[in-house]
Structure 1
């Protein structure tokens, strides 16, 4: 979801900045511009003195400007923090039975789950990524199936064997899993 928002915002910002910059550049270099265009030539200014001081004496002007800029700064900070947030889980909290608990590296659990899922019958390749919180991880499993594989059987074995073993070995009460099954891409064969 965040990557879609990033792409849309970057695309819109780039489009607006390119259009405004191109328009100012065209007017500044003396190219012919449409009659409705606000800037006509190289000696024309972007904001006249009247435009710059028009709202200065209004009581709502400065709070509106400061409020708008504050909203833009908060939006920019939110986007920055969303970019810095880790998408992959670095560690999982494991109940060791002594009340203290232990930490299991997220990559280790991913590797074990990936190895067992990749060894299932009919699976050509497996990829696993842990997300969520340290105490409540969520597994995202991507499986590339061989052409002869049964998706229902593979999914049943994934949940009953690989995911169950990972959940039990990490002493997790639950390990929600999202599985995406795909088939390998191949080129069509020509028959002559």
Structure 2
């Protein structure tokens, strides 16, 4: 019988906190059970093992990221919207590195719920990219470029990968401005 007050949301929420504080690799059934004051087997009433924990974290993070990006994009367009959503994305990665790490892999085939959560993030980014009138493969290339640029910069920053004492915010702003300039597609 499931323990009172212990449900999937609480289990995944605790796992997400551990991931952010200690890294995604620290998320184990034993570690989450310890944090919740229960025995590891009792977690199986709420999640499908470690994979279920990581999947739950990915769902949570994708939902949070979609909200953060949507809020950043509201009332903006073009390069301003791109810059604002990129900054919001970067901030999310820096504030929630473990949760974000769970979103890196593409969903498994048939995992419609996780695919929909990821699609919500992409839908916000597609809205931001509308200013460039991109279609088909051009839009996909732009989405990949955006995600790669922001992911790469933010994960390097979170890992302490920038040792040269030059303003990180200025470097990031320049990166996104260069990305915006590169999104122009010749429709001739």
Q: What TM-score, normalized by structure 1, do the two folds share?
A: 0.26
Larger RCO (CA under 8 A, 6+ residues apart)? 2
Larger radius of gyration: 1
Question: TM-score when scaled to structure 2?
Answer: 0.27
Write 1 or 2 for the structure with the bigger share of strand.
1
